[in-house]
Amino acid sequence: MPFFPRYPIEGEEEKNRIFLFRVVGDVIVSEFFRDESRVNGAFPKYLTFPHTNDTTLSRQSFLSVVIKTKIEILSDIMKLLLALFPLVSVASVAANSCHPADLLIGGSSDEQPLVKKWIDGYKTECPETNLILEEVPCSSSCGARRVCSEGQTYKGETPLDVGTLSRPWREMEAVSNNGFLYQCVDSQRQLISIDAALYALSFVVGTGGAAHECIIITGGLTLDQLRWIYSNLSRAELIENGWDPDSLENDDMDDNTHLWSELDARCANEEILISGGPYMSADHQFVAVELFGDLFDSSVEDIPIDVPRSTGPDTFLEYYTSRPSSLEASASTTSSWNDSHDLLHHVKNNGAAITFVKYQLAADYDDTISLVPIENNYGNMVYPSYSSILSQDYFPFARKMHINMVKNENTLRAMKGFFEFAYSARGSEMVEEVGYFPLAAWEQKVMLTVLDDDAETWGDITCSDGPSVMEIDGSLTAFPVAKVWSDVFRAKCNVGIKVRGGSSHRGAERVCATSAQNKVDIGMMSRDFTSSEAVSRNGYEYECVGSSNKVIQIEAAVEAVVVVTKAGGVAEKCIGRLGGLTIPQLRWIYSSFTENQLRYEDWSFESTPNSDGDQSTHLWSELLDHPDCPATEIKISGPADDTTFIDLFADEVLPSYEDGEDYASNRPDGFFQSESEPELVQYLVKNEDAISFFSYSLYARNDDNVSAAKILNDNDEYIEPLQTSIQDGSYAPLSWRIYMNVRKDPESLAMALPYLEMGLSDMGAELMQFSGHLPIPESERMVMKARIRAATGVEKERLECGPAGEIVSMAGSTTLYNLARLLGGMYEIGCDVKVQVDGGGSRFGADRVCGGAGPPVDIGLMSREWYDDEGVQNGMNVQCNDWDTDRNLLQIPVASTGIVLVTALGGDAKKCVDILGGLTKDQLRWIYSSYNEKELEETGWDPSSLANPDFDPQTHLWSELHSDCAPTEILLTGPSDLTEDIYYDFMEEVFDDYDNGEEIATDRPNQYVSGESNSIAVSFLLENGAALGFFGIGFYKRNADALSPVPIQNIAGSFVIPHDSTIQTGSYDLLAKPLYMNVNNDVETLPSTIPLIRYALSDSGTKLVEAAGYVAIVQEKRDQILASLCQIEGAPPSATFCGAPKQRSSNASNASNGAIAGVVTLLVAVVAVVSVYVVRKVRYGKEADSNDDANLSPYARSRTNWAEQEATVEEPVKDFKLKQNLHQHGNAEDEGKVKESDTSEATPVWV
């Protein structure tokens, strides 16, 4: 039962009807009417049905129905349904997908129930497609044999058009390079193989019985142990056929007994009672094939059913059997999964019994049974779970079922429509009804693409020219990324890719391995290499410690754990009052250790300043003595034990996790765990005093229902989990990078290059939504592609580098972060240096380059001017005013950025903008603000910006701006508040009362649509001609063919179209700003930092600036800055930028005053033109200097200052000052007192 109706509405009338039925069903069946808050949390504010004349149903209207009696609910809802939708058939398949055909289907008995359901459902929508399913299934081998046959088989069987297999193809049957296109071995037939669903079996024992106790001792069962338990062969026969006798540590050598104690002497001396599915059922064949292999196919080895081993009680128990054991057998003669309850009752009531059933049934049963871990191919004992089944780490008892069709146009066209139905919401429900797993959405999309050779679903993909099979193994966290990329890549290329999930250690081990059996081409890791695994000098080229292998590290994705509570609940209020949570507080909340044990572990007792001294309680009030933190127990919850996040969270929060510390299960409410995402969300919604944690992707899908806690990072800042803070690393330590480590040899690189280029493309980033991860920023993706290309032999760019082996550190502005990562990453590839970049914001960049708020950095990244409490700014020279006040910095502009308003071409929005000539700041504020007209006017808004107001605060129509504009509601879109700084930059620029709570409106008839990806935003704008959106200029550039930019009124009153040139000249001034790198002016670090700055301002660096979506500085001004850098003491010489190296005195420079004056004169011009903002704003309680523009906003004042500078930019600067080298002389009071005779010992002043 889904917690909330499935999204999205796809537009067809019938699907809208299904959608509303689902809403109704979820509300009624879940009894939401008993708890209105759950409805409010789960139900969207408005439901819009696109194909019913824009009929809209509000949440409030729905709730007015919900609070009625059950009978009235049903009556009113049916009336509503009949009014909204005529009684038409419900369609899941596009009409043009139905294709007349007569196809015979047969094969695996495993798939029979599912395929039958699909066919019955599909016939109601496409009756002209005659799919004939054989009533009596044969087997997977039979299906393979007959679908490959072009005539009657040697057994006289009829050939099939479609053959079903519940196992992989065998080499004797058909071969394939990519896993989709198969060539039959014994005929000319070619087949297309499509994944249908996932099928898994679990071995189960009764909780607390002899079997369970033994499993705890052994840690699980190996395949050899399972074979001995279930085989009808004697010990000697087993050994003769490859069985390992060492799997029994306490073998009694008696073929008449199979005791638990034979596995381990510590286990009970009781006979193992075996049971399972009926003879030759799907479950029986699954287990027998995996345990006995060819011996089962040849009828040599099987499960002992007809002949008991020695006594009656150990007879194999079926759903139905002629010889029931101590449990009365079910009367059913079918193998439907409900009959498996008999097996579960059997193990529940017999402590020495073991059985196997479908995973879903066992997982949904109560805690009187326990699942058995099974050893996989890599020697790991793995519990069956949704994640281990999807990753195929639970191997070999999890596998995909396949439907294989003859490759001809008629069959493929007919089956494409069939699979459209099979992969629909109804088709997925049918999969669950028969006890299987539906494929993930992205897998379904891949399968449909395979069926359509001409499909352009994934765009252009360059295929590999290398060997045909690539192997990937490693981190289970990284597995979904590799899997989704691999399935898309192999669907379009004739390449086989084997992907396994396990651990980061395994990924490191196998990519460094030398044996052909163990090595892989790519090792996946969710952490960096340890020093015992591999070492690196530049941070991305690694040398393996245990072998001579070399590895290229590619960053592929980002993931994070988010700590969550119910939105608006007790827990959220307490955490909000605290400002966030610290890692020690999280440890106290979740740890199984007592407070005394934690203190012994050097845990900070200050985490619970209001401790009640009771070791058995964990109250919110213990964190803070405040009414917002009541004396109620903290209910803890989280993912299931066998999920990735449970271990990742423990690694950061429970430092003794490997030494006995665990999640507390002895709390009054226990530790609620679930691998079901909706269940975790529901638990929080039901319990406002509860806390949980799960992936960022799950939080982003449920951010209306749950609230994320800020976490204190290593720099003592409480950081909210946003896409930007996760990507830039400031949300630490609960975020991490996903790595693809590529073996640096010709064969591996040849296969990996096209695969990773696809994964690092825009398409690969879009696919991240299916893997549950975040993509790395576009700029970093460019760096990663350059890394792999350089490794394949593409010539590196020749750069002037700093000293080899040095580390250049940067931190600060999230707006500039991506560009800094791009420039730093490319510089690393060309130079033997390492560039470290942290985010955190401009304030953080100012603090760290001035020596505080964490380890000092060489370069502070800022997207604004300096505040007075941070530093004293004199042109481009900055003296730190906080932390290390002796630090002198050089403020160097490296790029600019801008926010662009956009509309669709030809819509109401575009037409109105054309009539107006553009939009003013006041019009933008009215359009987007959460304030009504009265509140706006009280905070400085000009009501005359509306030429035709309707005085209705509930509407925001285009016609209110001008009577000739359409009377349609302005639809709003823009970046997500979870993803981009642009969202906040826009509010800070446009909303004059932003500091007091003015924000983007969320209470409009049509809510603000956040474009969390390019495709969402562009689609919304193209589908809604009345929509207006704002995005970064890079977004607009990528979509310039589809969208129209809106001219914005500048300070001078002119409407200016956003463009690189208008941003560079400063005429587009409302929504544009420069980006600065503030370099520590230290003679010891300048040899390392100046070459990087030169690269950023070079032609190559400028290309990167533009490619990353920023606006480059014009050539002339870059040349001026580069020339001036040559005069800085400590800057390394440069033949490229400074001409031939000249003799220099031991002092800073022998340049004449005139030469220096000329350099500084040019630099002053650069400052005047590039500095769009000169913000002299005081933060943190200090007052700003008064001036004549006191009534202007800080942004207006900065633009006025810029405009005044621009007016005089072309006039030569006749006077300038030289400033003593503060690093040398260290006396700020002497500034401006330098005499002309002292200039030989002075450095240029940056004014």
Range with the poorest average pLDDT among 6-20, 526-540, 741-755, 921-935: 6-20
- pLDDT tens digit string along 740-768? 999 999 889 888 999 999 999 888 888 88
Residue 596 pLDDT greater than 60, yes or no: yes
Judging by DSSP bridges, how do beta strands 1218-1219 and 1243-1244 pair with one another? Answer: antiparallel
Residue 326 pLDDT greater than 70, yes or no: no
- Residue 765: per-residue pLDDT: 87
Mean pLDDT value across residues 954-968: 95
Point out which residues pair with 1137 in neighbouring strands.
none
- pLDDT tens digit string along 192-205? 999 999 888 999 99
> How would residue 633 be classed by pLDDT, with cut points 50, 70 and 90?
very high
- Write the CA distances from 674 to 29, 438, 679, 1188, integer angstroms: 21, 19, 7, 62
CATH topology of domain 906-1041: D-Maltodextrin-Binding Protein; domain 2 (3.40.190)
Residue 64 pLDDT greater than 70, yes or no: no
More confident residue, 579 or 69: 579
More confident residue, 1152 or 721: 721
More confident residue, 492 or 1029: 1029
Average pLDDT, the chain: 78
More confident residue, 998 or 1148: 998
- Residue 797: per-residue pLDDT: 56
109 token code pair = 């008995």
Mean pLDDT value across residues 1193-1206: 34
CB 482 within 8 A of CB 471: no
Residue 45 pLDDT greater than 60, yes or no: no
> How would residue 440 be classed by pLDDT, with cut points 50, 70 and 90?
confident
- Residue 601: per-residue pLDDT: 82
- pLDDT tens digit string along 782-793? 889 888 888 876
Q: DSSP labels for 293-347?
A: THHHHTTSS----SS-SSSGGGSPB-SS-SS--SSPPPS--S--GGGHHHHHHHH
Instruction: Say what angle helices 921-928 and 981-990 make with each other, to 10 degrees.
Output: 120
Residue 780 pLDDT greater than 90, yes or no: no
- Residue 217: per-residue pLDDT: 94
Residue linked to tokens 């088989």: 153
Range with the poorest average pLDDT among 64-68, 305-309, 969-973, 1043-1047: 64-68
Residue ranges, comma separated, of all CATH 3.40.190.10 domains in the chain are: 468-558+736-795, 568-704, 906-1041
Residue 626 pLDDT greater than 70, yes or no: yes
Q: Indicate the class that CATH gives domain 568-704.
A: alpha beta
CB 839 within 8 A of CB 853: no
369 token code pair = 């049974």
Residue 307 pLDDT greater than 70, yes or no: no
| Residues contacting residue 1226 through CB under 8 Å, at least 6 positions apart | 886
- pLDDT tens digit string along 212-249? 999 999 999 999 999 999 999 999 999 999 999 999 99
Residue 614 pLDDT greater than 80, yes or no: yes
Greatest Cα-to-Cα distance within the chain, rounded to the nearest angstrom:
113
Please give the Cα distance from 871 to 850 (Å, whole number). Answer: 9
Decide: helix, strand or coil at residue 460.
coil
Mean pLDDT value across residues 709-715: 89
What is the CA angle 720-722-724, rounded to 5? 120
Q: Which long-range contacts (CB under 8 A, 24 or more apart) does 9-15 make?
A: 9/47, 9/48, 9/49, 9/50, 11/50, 11/51, 12/51, 12/91, 13/49, 13/51, 13/52, 13/85, 13/88, 14/88, 14/89, 14/90, 14/91, 15/91, 15/92
CATH H-level superfamily of 468-558+736-795: Periplasmic binding protein-like II (3.40.190.10)
What is the CA angle 1211-1213-1217, rounded to 5? 160
Point out which residues pair with 49 in neighbouring strands.
55
Residue 611 pLDDT greater than 80, yes or no: yes
Reported residue count of the chain is 1247
| Residues contacting residue 69 through CB under 8 Å, at least 6 positions apart | none
CB 900 within 8 A of CB 1021: no
- Residue 858: per-residue pLDDT: 96
Mean pLDDT value across residues 107-124: 92
- Residue 798: per-residue pLDDT: 65
- Residue 522: per-residue pLDDT: 96
CB 183 within 8 A of CB 148: no
Residue linked to tokens 């002309």: 1236
- pLDDT tens digit string along 679-705? 888 899 999 999 999 888 878 877 778
Residue 66 pLDDT greater than 70, yes or no: no
pTM of the model: 0.60
Share of the chain above pLDDT 90, in %: 40
> How would residue 1106 be classed by pLDDT, with cut points 50, 70 and 90?
confident
Judged by phi (left if over 0) then psi (alpha if -120 to 50, else beta), residue 1045 lies in: beta
- Residue 466: per-residue pLDDT: 54
- Residue 1234: per-residue pLDDT: 31
SS (H, E, C) 651-689: HHHCCCHHHCCCECCCCCCCEEEECCHHHHHHHHHHCCC
